[in-house]
Structure formats: C-alpha cells, structure tokens
Copies of this chain bind each other. A is one copy, B any other.
Amino acid sequence: MKRYRNGEVWDFEHEMQLRGVEREVILGLDGGTTNTVCVCMPFADRLPDPLPVLARAVAGCSNHNSVGETAARETLEEVMADVLSKSGSTRSAVRAVCLAVSGVNHPTDQQRILNWLRDIFPSHVELFVQNDAVAALASGTMGKLHGCVLIAGTGTIAYGFTEDGREARASGAGPILGDWGSGYGISARALTAVIRAHDGRGPDTTLTCSVLQAIDLSSPDELIGWTYADPSWARIAALVPVVVSCAEAGDQVANEILLDAVQELASSVKAVVQRLGLCGQEGRDPFPLVMVGGVLEANMRWDIGREVIRCISMDFPGVLPILPKLRIHS
C-alpha cells in the first residue's frame, strides 16, 4: 500500500494510543475548485439535527481539471487525514466515506477516485464518490435527492434528480468549455473588457481602474503577464466582487457582464428542469432549486442569485428556491 509522499500524512495513526474499541465515524467531504472541506461525524442510523460534527478540516482546490490529478489527490488525502487526526480517530474507525468533488464528470472520474480510496481505507469501509452538486442538492433538501441544484462559485454546474432516480446536468464544463456564468467566467469577461478598452476594441469601463487596483497592477499592459503567471481558476474568480461593485456604481460594461451571467446560470437550470420534466407537463409544478456558491450568496445590492431566480420563474413559476441551512463550508 504505497501512498503519495510515502503516506506520511497517516503517521499520526501510529502515534495515537489505541483506546480499546474506537467509536465508528463517517467522513463527508465537499471538494470545490477554491477549497475543500471535510467533516468527521459519529456513525448513526439517521442524522440528528444539528449534526454532531467531531472535527472539520479545510484545504485548497481538489478539482483535478483545475490543478491536475496529483495535486487534487494529495489535497483529498491530506484533508481526510487531517480531519481524522483532529477527531482522535484512525482509518480503522471509519464506517463510510462520502466524497462530493467538483470535476467528477464521467464514470471514469468516479472510478479513478474510488480505486484510489480503496487503497487508502480498509476493505469494509463503504465508499461513495459524486459530483459536488449531488451533495449540494442533498444539503438543501435534508438528504433527499429530488429537484435541482445550481452551484455558482469559482465554477458552475446545474444538476437535477427526479423522484424516480433519473438525473441530468448542464454546464460544469470548466472555463474553456463555456461556463460563462461561473465566478471564473464573470471575472475573465471583466479582464477581457479591460483589455478591449485598452486596445480600443471596446468601450471604456471603470473596471479598468478597479480591477488593476484589486490586483495591484499599474497598467492594462501588465494584465497578460498576471493572467498567465498562475493559471489557478480560483485566483481569477476572486475578482467577482469588483465586477459587482462596478455594476452597482453604474458601469454599463460590468452590468452587462452580470446580466449575461444571470442568463447563463438560468439557462443551465432551465435545461435540467426541462430534460427531467421537474416542472410537470404544464411547466407549472413546484420543484426545489437549491442555490449554492459565492456568486449566488453574496447578497450585494446587485443580487445575482435573486436575478437568476427571477429569470427562471418567468418560465417555471413553480420554482422553490432554497438556500441550504446545512453548510459544511463556513
């Protein structure tokens, strides 16, 4: 059982005193493109409310499409070791592991992570690997997989389930493949607007001053170097609040970027709702829409989440927006 860095993240287990029979625990992990949160909870037949969290650990990006396979796996392994160590447990106490990770887009992604978890944990441990959207939906519906979820953080995805178990998704394809409503998409369009204004290909915008100030550059000429020096998606996405501020202050370019993002996000949800028929034959049936992620939750005066709901409810008046109560992200 050879692990990365020779498995030293698990060294704490040798040092831990064995205290007879260990309490059984489960691990739940929410892996995003900006950060990854893992909690350790006591195993129980049903989840009490509030959840009794024994320990919580946080790490960086675990989306393999953003940081590469090796870095993503190391992050996942480290955060699981960290949370077990904090809770005073070892891997032999683990009853089940549920990983909900962004970047799990295809059965092969799922299988790759499962194989690798199988190497880490004893064979009796139950393993679950899903796209993080599945966990986000469950977090808003208290565990029931029915309805639709929209995540818009650094990345974006819409995911839905019918009561009889059919599922569908839209977006979640990353920055190259048109996730224009994501935090990354909004920020990349803002950076592009700065370049275009500088070139004389686009209108002047207050984004120029605000963006340069936010990232401590003195001229748009320096933006190209800044952008490609570090390809991390989260670093780009961090500019969303700058775009929102400019739009709130009346900048037309920033405003259009946000309006377009709203259309993009709404269209992802609509595509999922339509394909699954969540809205019923007449298009008016109620269905839950769980909304998660920094782009939707910022609640500024220019409220992207509110506008997305408005846009969806024009086509599907039965939409029931839910901002999850259960959060493992702080």
Question: Which of A's residues lie within 8 Å of B, judged by CB?
Answer: 64-66, 105-106, 108-109, 169-178, 188-189, 191-192, 195-196, 199-201, 221-225, 227-228, 231, 236, 267-268, 271, 274-275
Contact A65 B177 (CB under 8 A): no
A218 nearest CB across to chain B (Å): 11
Dominant SS among interface residues on chain A:
helix
A223 CB contacts on chain B under 8 angstroms: 173, 177
Nearest 8 A/B pairs, CB to CB: A178-B192, A65-B228, A170-B199, A200-B271, A105-B224, A201-B271, A173-B195, A177-B195
Copies of this chain held together in the complex: 2
A271 CA to B201 CA, complexed, in Å: 6
A72 nearest CB across to chain B (Å): 11
A108, A171, A200, most chain B CB atoms within 10 A: A200
**Known contacts A176-B236, A178-B195, A195-B178: A106-B224 contact under CB 8 Å:** yes
Contact B176 A227 (CB under 8 A): yes
Contact with A191, one of B177, B189, B199, B268 (Cβ below 8 angstroms): B177
The chain B residue with its CB closest to the CB of A274 is B200
Contact A201 B170 (CB under 8 A): yes
A178 CA to B178 CA, complexed, in Å: 13
A175, A176, A188, A267, most chain B CB atoms within 10 A: A176
